[in-house]
Structure 1
């Protein structure tokens, strides 16, 4: 484990376990909830507090997609679910490029031509994660570059497990939300209003949500009124979608800034699907900022 410390902020990183976060604490308070998901077999049932989504976010339907006239099949890597999910970065060991008291840089090279499993992803890429700890916040910069000899479709995002409270509120503005079918793939696009609206802020309560919001404005806030603080999230424009997961029986809420819509690679006709087609040598990058706002004292 790599540990970063600055003032009363303390962060743990697990490079060998998918570049995951082990914990993030501020003034002794756990801001994130380490969670073990047996469906993520490569995490070996180890609780993690967050992990990267590369080279795509969320699901690819049936683990199949077509790109530039060729069909590809990916491993179904999430228990019994019939889809490929969350890319393969979480399944791999990341290398450490730099580590000091307040910053760590990790990288992952995936190259099927050098023996990496093409069923995880058929193209060669490099991903870089840069973690910068602040006194009351954390910045995560993500980069994905195409190291293949041909174009490839990519996406990225980050999946944190925020601590849940009974009075938690959620605030973000978005243009629309994708409803899911029984296979958890998007079926129809609805305005993000009414039951789907979270601006102004409202309680998370007993809501059961596992959906992707489009036209997100790049800012969100989780409020903890009884604990006296809020978690503000601000992401660069490359992260044009927001995935929200909450279920009343879980002790966490996931608010994921991501680039692509769920199953975006299978929806090339949607102009704002968020999938980036990178030519050889091209890259995408962006920063997600998390900041704690103390509301009392």
Structure 2
């Protein structure tokens, strides 16, 4: 869906370009959907040519981030067409799980029981927008970068509005500069009361054939304890202590050694995580603005990927927020006052080591 002020049609292909940067709005025949493509060409080294693709009708899923011949985002096209968990999808306004699919905010109780997700996880919500169609605006090309913006509105016509009745707009601006992609989010509160939210991206980063040759490091000093439903108990473990050292990923660790689905916090600033592809002599640097206080490390068993999910809050932040002062700090639920906006950004940058 295009913006009402956009000059880019939603059917057919249209591309614009500069000497280095190109943007295209087109139809992907395999996915049978509109795609937004941003590309950067390095005339002196084709291994640094970069392509970014977003599917606005599939939840604004960032399903491709290709540098040279390497697709750094793992995407199962069949799952993407089902709007399932693959690629790099958006978690808003509730990253990950909400206990019992219920929450209380400013004395009012809300239910998310109507939200249905794949699998049998009774608490998993993953937000309300990753499987919804988004709008997009005309790409913008400059001398140093190319960008495009997608957005989705929450209003009385939205599914699950009774579970999250806060009129608002979430916008994402994807900016490609060389081999660095920055995703800037902005939340605009259009309602007459405070709006609570958390934001995250859920990327499946490719590990390719051999996980023994891919290393990860993250700047986290602590990990959150979770119960049997993968919900936080409120306890935090210091990974610098010997008894919790198995969770310590501050130094590069082979992905093959990991079996995790954990929320990390107490991030050092700048909060830089590194995915090091040793055989490819290439690193993926993942960073974010300081509103991102948590990150999830998830090691899927069935697909060659690793999830490094930067979050502005803990899992179930909407419930932890009102329980105590200590839990409020741990939760880090963000709030936007009526008529105001809030923004932050996540960056993915490819660095060559040889």
Same fold (TM over 0.5): yes
For residue 16 of structure 1, give the secondary structure of its aligned residue in structure 2. helix
Partner of 1:181: 227
Q: CA deviation at 1:84?
A: 4.1
Partner of 1:241: 294
Off by >6 Å, runs of 4+ in structure 1 = none
Q: How many residues align?
A: 292
User: Does the 8 A contact of 2:83 with 2:130 survive in 1?
Assistant: no
For residue 121 of structure 2, give the secondary structure of its aligned residue in structure 1. coil
For residue 224 of structure 2, give the secondary structure of its aligned residue in structure 1. strand
Partner of 2:277: 224
Partner of 1:211: 262
2:72 corresponds to 1:21: no
User: Does the 8 A contact of 1:206 with 1:247 survive in 2?
Assistant: no
For residue 265 of structure 1, give the secondary structure of its aligned residue in structure 2. helix
CA distance in structure 1 between the aligned counterparts of 2:182 and 2:232, rounded to whole angstroms: 30
CA distance in structure 2 between the aligned counterparts of 1:287 and 1:50, rounded to whole angstroms: 15
For residue 174 of structure 2, give the secondary structure of its aligned residue in structure 1. strand
Q: Which stretch of the first structure deviates more once superposed, 78-87 or 234-243?
A: 78-87
Matching residue within 177, 187, 190 for 1:144: 187
Greater share of helix residues, 1 or 2?
2
1:55-99 deviation line (CA, Å, top 9, x unaligned): 121111111001111110013332321114221120211111232
Partner of 1:81: 121
1:236-286 deviation line (CA, Å, top 9, x unaligned): 001111111113443110101110100011112211312012221232211
Matching residue within 25, 40, 43 for 1:6: 40
Greater share of strand residues, 1 or 2?
1
For residue 331 of structure 2, give the secondary structure of its aligned residue in structure 1. coil
Distance of aligned partners of 1:68 and 1:37 in 2 relative to their CA distance in 1, 3 Å threshold:
farther
User: Does the 8 A contact of 1:72 with 1:122 survive in 2?
Assistant: no
Q: CA deviation at 1:120?
A: 5.6
Q: CA deviation at 1:205?
A: 1.5
Partner of 2:173: 130
User: Does the 8 A contact of 2:59 with 2:134 survive in 1?
Assistant: yes
2:253 corresponds to 1:202: yes
Query: Unaligned 5+ residue runs, structure 1?
Result: none
Asked which structure has the greater CA Rg, the reply is 2
Distance of aligned partners of 1:227 and 1:120 in 2 relative to their CA distance in 1, 3 Å threshold:
farther
Query: Unaligned 5+ residue runs, structure 2?
Result: 1-34, 42-48
Partner of 1:91: 131
CA distance in structure 1 between the aligned counterparts of 2:85 and 2:319, rounded to whole angstroms: 31
2:318 corresponds to 1:265: yes
TM-score by length of 1: 0.92
